[in-house]
Amino acid sequence: MPGKAPAADATLRILRLMSEQRGPVAAATIARSLELPRSTVYQLLATLTEHGFVIPLPELAKYGLGVAAFELSSGFNRQQPLTRVGAPVLARLVDDLGLSGHLTVLLGRDVVYLAEERAPHGPYLVTDVGVRLPAHLTASGLAMLADLPAVQVRALYPDRGLFTTRTGNGVSSYRELSAELHLTRERGYAMEDSSVTEGLRSVAVAVPDHVGWPAASVAVTFPVDRDIDLDATVARITRSAAELGRRIGGGAIVRS
């Protein structure tokens, strides 16, 4: 390929491979996976370490991503590409269903609302852009938590005191959360009923990232007494989540 820089290409391939792993990776594994000479891999890892993109872990004989790689991720968030890409997808979803929609991401035990599209004559919602709510109370949060490894979910909720409530509804213990996440995985969507606001129900589907982890969630909210076709609604939300996943280079959700 004209103009191709082999060292730059190999460096980017190494970073891409490391970002796709769920933990640190050995140099030998990198060399084998990318079909690169070990000497080249060690030289590039040394350069990446010098610039903070990689951290050597001598005890494990492996390498992990460094702070500079995290800063790239932070820059991605500051530039709000997910919001910009997701807004038109969300708008079409709301137009089709006539229900208010949301785009959220998971931040620790909270969900953060990146975009909201209100349906005409829809009820007042507390989920404005920038609002944070406990993930275990929201359909959006449950959809994303369901696609995380169980050990990670447990680490997020080590004790019962973390299960706060707003209306008295929703999960209130790790056992209840585990059961709800199991149900969410089985049916492919999450639902909450009056956990955030009394009288309102939400349905959400997770958006996969490039390694199959939940990057975001697409949800709709409506009054509990509104008669909707749940199967058709879920199918339409699922299409929107899949479309957004494709737009950000995502694949299928990989469940552990």
pTM exceeding the 0.75 threshold for the entire prediction: no
Fold for the domain defined by 80-247: Beta-Lactamase (3.30.450)
When the pLDDT of each residue in the chain is averaged and rounded to a whole number, the result is: 88
Q: Which ranges in the chain are annotated with CATH 1.10.10.10?
A: 6-72
- DSSP assignment string, 28-70: HHHHHHHT--HHHHHHHHHHHHHTTSEEEETTTTEEEE-HHHH
Q: How confident is the model over 132-155, as pLDDT tens digits?
A: 899 999 999 999 999 988 888 998
Tokens found for residue 253: 């959700």
Burial of 128: CB neighbours in 10 Å, binned 0-12, 13-18, 19+? exposed
Q: How confident is the model over 118-134, as pLDDT tens digits?
A: 998 888 888 778 888 99
Residue 130's pLDDT is 82
Residue 2's pLDDT is 47
Fold for the domain defined by 6-72: Arc Repressor Mutant, subunit A (1.10.10)
> Would you say residue 225 has pLDDT above 60?
yes
Check residues 203 and 53 and name the one with the higher pLDDT: 203
Question: Which residue in this structure is represented by tokens 């975001």?
Answer: 216
Compute the distance between CA of residue 125 and CA of residue 197 in angstroms, rounded to an integer: 8
Q: Which ranges in the chain are annotated with CATH 3.30.450.40?
A: 80-247
Neighbouring C-beta atoms of residue 13, cutoff 10 Å: 16
Question: In sequence order, which residues have a C-beta less than 8 Å from that of residue 159 and are 6 or more positions away?
Answer: none
> Would you say residue 48 has pLDDT above 80?
yes
